[in-house]
Chain A
Amino acid sequence: MVAAGSRAAGVSEPLPTLLVIPTGIGCEQGGFAGDALPVARLLAAASDCLITHPNVMNGAALYWSDPRIHYVEGWSLDAFAKGSLRLRPQRRQRIGVLFDAGIEPELLLRHRQVLAAARATLGLDIGPELVSDEPLGVRLSQASSGSSWGQLEQPGALLQAGSRLKHAGATAIAVVARFPDDNGSGALEAYRNGSGVDALAGAEAVISHLLVRELQIPCAHAPALAPLAPMAELDSRAAAEELGHTFLPCVLVGLSRAPDLCPASEPWRSQELAIDQVGAVVAPAGALGGETVLACADRGIPIVAVRSNPSLLQVDAAALDLAVVPAADYSAAAGLVLAWREGLDPRALMRPLSAC
């Protein structure tokens, strides 16, 4: 858990830090299958308290659990940054599982075996599960910027099933929706070659945003897809999605210790994290136009703009008239966070020294 407690002499207090790598815009790092996890681990070590979202942490069958990293879905991350939610660290969540009625029996069986394995092998508390009353009808699309978007034909069926799970005792929800299979499109080939946009990401975000907005508990999504034929030249960053039959393991692990979402209108309790404790937000230099980063800018929280993570977008500090602290890459960003955590002025580390 993040909250400081007693610390050894000479060890600095945590500097809560947000890491944002937007979904579905083709980021070089974090635009694939959990390929920003090393970044999250480094920033967690530098800050001792990292708050980030599933796109950063989810590597399908691969995952990393670290009590210093708080797994917070995008809608709730935005709400946290705006000050309307606080985060209450938890040791354990009871994860309800919502399956799309559009999933075929064999694929559903594969997912149910993940639940069994997560109970037996990881000891996770997997709560009630159910199948939606009707297929959710996921549709994928692309916005004019080229970023991936998507929507649901039956949002009411999703919300109704999520509500039943919450009433049955789930404190977090993993949702598995049947996504349209891609039978060899150029976009999929580019993604597997390491040069494209994750076509599923936008619709995934819409599903989890909708559930969290309605239920106010941690939620995350895994797509159900038919397996792809093996590809010899598969890019390493996309490889985690081709190791197994489902993308569900990372979601269960992430949710298992996700913080509770507490309305800011409720009295503050010790151990909770609020936006006014956050010392920095780290984001790609060309993707600063999301709600979390802008909310931090509105509050004067330092924005570390990482230049080494280009994407489809060029929404940078100059375009938005924002003050940022540039960082050449994530190692430099971690250095900045560590310096601030230690109470150092990062300019003191540079030569020649700049004037005051």
Chain B
Amino acid sequence: MRLQPFELELVIEPQRWQQGRVAACRQALAAHGEPLRWAITAAEQRPEGQWLRLEAVLLV
């Protein structure tokens, strides 16, 4: 087991964002490891959807 700092920027479709914000973020992070600690540290509503920057420590 290793701890890995990780940052990710992504855009989430508005409907998916409204249906489950935690699930949307966790799913995006899970592709890279298990998120032990994470937070949205920048966000903006854009025409294409919800833009986010996530900062995390992952278990890999």
Expressed in whole angstroms, the Cα–Cα distance for A291 and B23 within the complex equals 10
Residue of B nearest to A145 (CB): B41
Q: Contact: B5 with A145, CB < 8 Å?
A: no
In the complex, A290→B38 CA distance in Å? 7
Q: Which B-chain residue is minimally distant from A320 (CB atoms)?
A: B43
How distant is A228 from chain B, measured CB to nearest CB, in Å? 27
Q: B48 on the interface (CB 8 Å rule)?
A: no
- Cβ of A22 and Cβ of B39 under 8 Å apart? yes
CB-CB under 8 A from B4, the residues of chain A are 151
A234 within 8 A of B: no
Chain A residues within an 8 Å CB radius of B39: 22, 147, 289-291
* Contact (Cβ within 8 A) B25 A294: yes
Q: Interface size (B, Cβ < 8 Å)? A: 30
Question: Which of A22, A143, A210, A295 makes the CB contact (< 8 A) with B22?
Answer: A295
Quick one: CB contact mask for B34-60 with A, threshold 8 Å, 1 for yes?
001111111111000010110101010
Which residues in B have their C-beta under 8 angstroms from that of A321?
14, 17-18, 45, 50
User: Is A346 part of the contact surface with B, judged by Cβ < 8 Å?
Assistant: no
Residue from B23, B50, B57 in contact with A206 in the complex, judged by beta carbons closer than 8 Å: B57
- Within 8 Å CB of B45, what residues of A? 318-319, 321
Bound state CA distance, A210 and B58, in angstroms?
A: 11
Contact of A294 among B1, B3, B14, B22 (CB under 8 A): B22
Q: Which of A155, A206, A210, A319 contacts B43 (CB 8 A)?
A: A319
A residues within 8 A CB of B5? Answer: 141, 143, 149, 151
- A143 near B55: Cβ-Cβ < 8 Å: yes
- A22 proximity list for chain B (CB < 8 A): 39
Contact across chains for B21 and A315 when beta carbons are under 8 A apart? no
Minimum CB–CB distance for B19 against chain A, Å: 8
Of B3, B25, B44, the residue contacting A155 (CB under 8 A) is: B3
List B residues at the A interface (Cβ < 8 Å): 1-5, 7, 14, 17-18, 20-23, 25, 36-45, 50, 52-53, 55, 57, 59
22 CB contacts below 8 A, A to B, read A74-B37, A141-B5, A143-B5, A143-B7, A149-B55, A152-B3, A156-B1, A210-B3, A289-B41, A290-B40, A291-B25, A291-B38, A294-B40, A298-B20, A298-B22, A315-B40, A315-B41, A315-B42, A315-B43, A319-B44, A320-B40, A321-B14
Instruction: Enumerate the 9 nearest inter-chain pairs by beta-carbon distance, A residue then B residue, closest first.
Output: A289-B40, A145-B41, A319-B43, A151-B3, A294-B21, A143-B55, A290-B39, A294-B22, A295-B22
